[in-house]
Structure 1
Amino acid sequence: MGITREAHTAYLGIPYARAPYPSNAFDTPQPRERFTTCFEATSYGPSPAHPHVGQELFPDPVVAGDEALNLNVYAPSHGDGPFPVIVWLYGGGFFTGSNASPWYDGASFARDGVVFVVPNYRVAAEGFMILDDQVANRALLDITAALAWVRDNIAAFGGDPTNVTLAGQSAGATAALALTGAPAARGLFRRLVVMSAGTPLLTPLERMRQLSADFADQLGIPQTRQAVSATPTARRMELEQAWLPGEVRAPAESVDDRARRAGRDALRWQPTLDGEVVTTTPEEALSGSGAVEALLIGTTTQEWNFILGDLTTAPSTDASLKGMANLGFTADDLDTYLSRLGSRNPGHALAQALSDRTFRRPARRIADTAARARIPTYTYQSAWPVPLFGAAHCADLPFVFDHLDAPQAPELLGPDAPRHMAERMHTALIRFAHGDNPGWSAYTVDERRTMVFDHDSYECTDGLAKTPNNLKKFT
């Protein structure tokens, strides 16, 4: 039983694996017993445990309960199926996030003939900590279990289990890329949508082992599944809170403090190349045949503006130089960026250098790899600037979901958000899920055609390598 609207039915909080809480938070996902009565799927299910994030762009509610490995299904109410399926992986830096955020409501996709699925997956230590059983990447195992549930059950919701697109943004996009190198996930999705995947895409196994040892040591317990499972969740969340990147803690750091820390606070928890769950890197997986049938990949043009904060009050040159040095850049590089951007604000240069190094250039490398392997590849740039932050990380989500009125979205986007851009970005994913091109030319290493979404959307050449002010229409 779900919630039926005019154009769709929402089925919320459906468990796809056994409850991880209270005692199995560090177990691999296990099959859940079949329902013997009608499941009332009318409210969001419990969220995976995660710390509070003080600086958040959009709502990230935490729903209490044990059955955190659940998913939401948004299915068309009309039309002839089977419908293509999109499985959406939320972002949150692998330290936060859940499918209960209203920004991930899939009603618009169901309205337009796609079955939209949003699974929860475990984050932080629960998702990635390596213990005495040597299992890594539990978060990816969760997602794989959700994809298997889709394969086995989505036909009952009108979806086509042979026509699944895996899509994600930020950490979700990084997870989606990691799954191209996961043997257990092979064949569970056909197409891949990668929005704003940050680097590194995979953490070295030895680093993850060291982080895991450090986490256990700071908890004062042995590095065993039994010991960490017996540690109260509240105590673990206190440590997770202390491990958050400085940019998202509350209260917000000053703009100079953020600039000095830029590039220094790498994410701790994330997928790792462990050799069992993940056996190859995304670049290796996409360089051959069989990983995916098509790839849609891109970023916003100014990803890191949000992390640095309101750049209308410029960070000092000294603070910006420190941030540039963290990235291996020099004072000459800062001047070069300022010249290319046509700006006198050193914060603009630092933010763009971070955006290029962490998001845009890696996306270009992935696109090049896939295109060389003859995988139909499409790239984009989301360039419309929101007030204060520009075309920053997450600012494109309300457009992709065609939901400019989502809670907190009007405050972020301001009164002039172009609805026609929402229609274009949303339609691109609908077309792609149907197996069509998203509405623009395929990417090749010769021309590197890229769609630029803005007030006036257009194709340009090599858009992932150019500064935002140099994205010129292809003629």
Structure 2
Amino acid sequence: MAPIVTVSSGKILGRTDNGISAFLGVPYAAAPTGAELFQAPRRPDPWEGARPATELGGSCPQAAYPPGIAELLGTQTSPGADYLNVNIWTPDTEGSGLPVMVWIHGGAFTRGSNAMPAYDGSAFARDGVVLVSINYRLGAAGFAVLDGAPSNRGLLDQQFALAWVQENIHAFGGDPGNVTIFGESAGAMSIAALLVSPRSAGLFAKAVMQSGSGEIAASETDARLVSAELAKQLGISATAAEFATVDPDDLVAAQERVIADYIADTDPARWGESVVSGGLSSMCLFPTLDGAVLVERPIDAASAGAARGIPLLIGHNADEFRLFIVPNGIAAQLTMGVLPALLGRYRVDPSVLERYAAERPGVSAGDLFAAILTDHAFGVPSRALASAQSATGTPAYVYEFGWGRVDQDLGAFHALEIPFVFDTLDAAPNLVGADPSQAVADDMHAAWVAFARTGDPGWAAYSQDTPQVRTFG
């Protein structure tokens, strides 16, 4: 018999396979259409009868990934206006009080959805964890700063979804007092913001950041410069009322043109210093210091104790930046002569080149650049946030994902760890390659499950004095 669960807006009809029940595309907020696209989320209207929840719901409108990266990551999205939705996987038992994990996807705040096959939560449910994956508004819809609209709408969506989990997860056997949020890339950067947001109190107990940073936040003044560029592309003013009249596809197209302009010309006078330093020369739409949802940069707020008491598991991949320069051929084109200027665009002191070259004799310019940017964008910020959390007396655990693909010169690149965490290697053949290590997936998935249950993934906590790091691979 198909499972039926009652949530705050009505009954939903799921499906059960091999002892695991799944409820897909469940609205946690009303469809953000028309004028509501640029307003705070609100509850969905109640429905009559049992709403089918057996197929994936809609995804936020977005452009495909660039060639090369698209071949590895794919572009798994679903049409539909009801894209503020959640997917839930839970053991098909009458039990209760199970640990809960809520997944926040990545995609540079402009791409991604909870429809990616690698995000299937069946393995977590198999191991006694209720898994929830959420969608949120992306790009201009989620992060453009406009007159007449609240800022950080993407973060507001995430907090609204977490409040929905608090209200409803008991119906799926979950414990609302033992919720762990976890995410990768922009999802991990979102979690850094959620950790320190004054509006997150009581929404979760623990957090996992995969390949994120606590240093990403734009000033409101600088974020408005980006919104002004968007408005210029569209021929309108930077107001919620005028942006709401734009067709979603046209909004995405304008957004992509602005991002391309930004990548080609990262002039702080045009985009603002906080956007240029935070966007890593590829992102220009991301969380803003609005004084309400986000008051300080996450690293600064965490250092002051804003996330005290929330255990943190955080880490990165050994070769993160290779995703951004190997599949598209950029790494092969780089020369030593261009690296100083290129590093300067990323706000990296070119003098580090000498040290990295000395430690890696004979490697190519592309290899040096990837190593430096991996540390700059992911490794150093991860350790900094772990140190800040540890200094408040809160446990922080650090990992490095070191299993790398030997084909295509990719190594342990950005996003590769995801199907290992979810134990979904078979669902991501293009990402993991022909011979992924199931043993590494077993170890990594088990550590995440243990952290969700107890707050301890199975190795010593990190501190400045004892910088313990668990390597997978």
TM-score tier, shorter chain, comes to 0.7 to 0.9
| 1:450 Cα deviation from its structure 2 partner | 0.4
Given the alignment, which residue of 425, 435, 459 partners 1:404?
425
Q: Check the 8 A contact 2:96/2:170 in 1, yes or no.
A: no
| 1:8 Cα deviation from its structure 2 partner | 1.0
| 1:237 Cα deviation from its structure 2 partner | 1.6
Give the equivalent residue in structure 2 for 1:448: 467
| 1:313 Cα deviation from its structure 2 partner | 3.9
1:191 paired with 2:210, answer no
Q: Check the 8 A contact 2:73/2:430 in 1, yes or no.
A: no
Relative distance call for 1:339 and 1:112 in structure 2 (3 A) is same
1:145 paired with 2:153, answer no
Give the whole-Å Cα distance in 2 for the aligned partners of 1:174 and 1:343: 34
2:454 counterpart SS class:
coil
* Paired residues for 1:100-179 under 5 Å: 100-179=115-194
Point out the more displaced range, 329-338 or 117-126. 329-338
Give the equivalent residue in structure 1 for 2:458: 439
Give the whole-Å Cα distance in 1 for the aligned partners of 2:286 and 2:248: 20
Relative distance call for 1:79 and 1:31 in structure 2 (3 A) is closer
Q: Check the 8 A contact 1:104/1:401 in 2, yes or no.
A: yes
1:429 paired with 2:441, answer no
1:230 counterpart SS class:
coil
Give the whole-Å Cα distance in 2 for the aligned partners of 1:302 and 1:340: 16
Give the whole-Å Cα distance in 2 for the aligned partners of 1:264 and 1:80: 46
Relative distance call for 1:403 and 1:23 in structure 2 (3 A) is same
1:176 counterpart SS class:
helix
Can you list the C-alpha shifts for 1:368-408, whole angstroms capped at 9, x where unaligned?
100110101100000111132111100111111111111xx
Q: Which amino acid aligns with 1:390?
A: G
1:308 paired with 2:320, answer no
Give the equivalent residue in structure 1 for 2:33: 21
* Paired residues for 1:60-139 under 5 Å: 60-78=75-93, 80-139=95-154
Relative distance call for 1:226 and 1:208 in structure 2 (3 A) is same
Give the equivalent residue in structure 1 for 2:414: 393
Give the whole-Å Cα distance in 2 for the aligned partners of 1:443 and 1:245: 39
* Paired residues for 1:30-429 under 5 Å: 30-54=42-66, 55-56=69-70, 57-78=72-93, 80-198=95-213, 200-244=215-259, 265-287=281-303, 288=305, 291-310=308-327, 313=332, 315-329=334-348, 332-386=351-405, 387=407, 388-406=409-427, 409-429=428-448
Q: Check the 8 A contact 1:338/1:348 in 2, yes or no.
A: no
Can you list the C-alpha shifts for 1:224-283, whole angstroms capped at 9, x where unaligned?
11111001122112112223459999xxxxxxxxxxxxx862411101111012123322
Point out the more displaced range, 330-339 or 67-76. 330-339
Q: Which amino acid aligns with 1:440?
A: W
Give the whole-Å Cα distance in 1 for the aligned partners of 2:260 and 2:124: 33
Give the whole-Å Cα distance in 2 for the aligned partners of 1:214 and 1:85: 41
| 1:314 Cα deviation from its structure 2 partner | 6.0
Point out the more displaced range, 40-49 or 263-272. 263-272
Give the whole-Å Cα distance in 1 for the aligned partners of 2:314 and 2:195: 14
1:381 counterpart SS class:
strand
Give the equivalent residue in structure 1 for 2:10: none
| 1:342 Cα deviation from its structure 2 partner | 3.9
Q: Which amino acid aligns with 1:132?
A: D
**Which runs of 5 or more residues in structure 2 are unaligned?**
1-12, 265-278
Give the whole-Å Cα distance in 1 for the aligned partners of 2:263 and 2:19: 37
Relative distance call for 1:46 and 1:428 in structure 2 (3 A) is same
Give the whole-Å Cα distance in 2 for the aligned partners of 1:247 and 1:78: 51
Q: Check the 8 A contact 2:281/2:345 in 1, yes or no.
A: no
Q: Check the 8 A contact 1:15/1:71 in 2, yes or no.
A: yes
* Residues matched between the structures, number: 439
Can you list the C-alpha shifts for 1:89-141, whole angstroms capped at 9, x where unaligned?
00000011111111111111111100000111000000011211251100000
Give the equivalent residue in structure 2 for 1:473: none
Q: Check the 8 A contact 2:317/2:400 in 1, yes or no.
A: yes
**RMSD between superposed Cα atoms in Å:** 2.2
Relative distance call for 1:331 and 1:156 in structure 2 (3 A) is closer
Q: Check the 8 A contact 1:314/1:345 in 2, yes or no.
A: no
1:12 paired with 2:19, answer no
Point out the more displaced range, 171-180 or 433-442. 433-442
Can you list the C-alpha shifts for 1:331-385, whole angstroms capped at 9, x where unaligned?
6532321221344211111111111111110111101100110101100000111
Give the structure with the larger helix fraction.
2
| 1:181 Cα deviation from its structure 2 partner | 2.3
2:294 counterpart SS class:
coil
| 1:37 Cα deviation from its structure 2 partner | 1.3
Q: Which amino acid aligns with 1:25?
A: L
Give the whole-Å Cα distance in 2 for the aligned partners of 1:150 and 1:67: 17
Normalising by structure 1, we get a TM-score of: 0.88
% identical aligned pairs:
35
2:253 counterpart SS class:
helix
* Paired residues for 1:453-468 under 5 Å: 453-454=472-473
Q: Which amino acid aligns with 1:43?
A: E
Q: Check the 8 A contact 1:8/1:110 in 2, yes or no.
A: yes
Normalising by structure 2, we get a TM-score of: 0.88
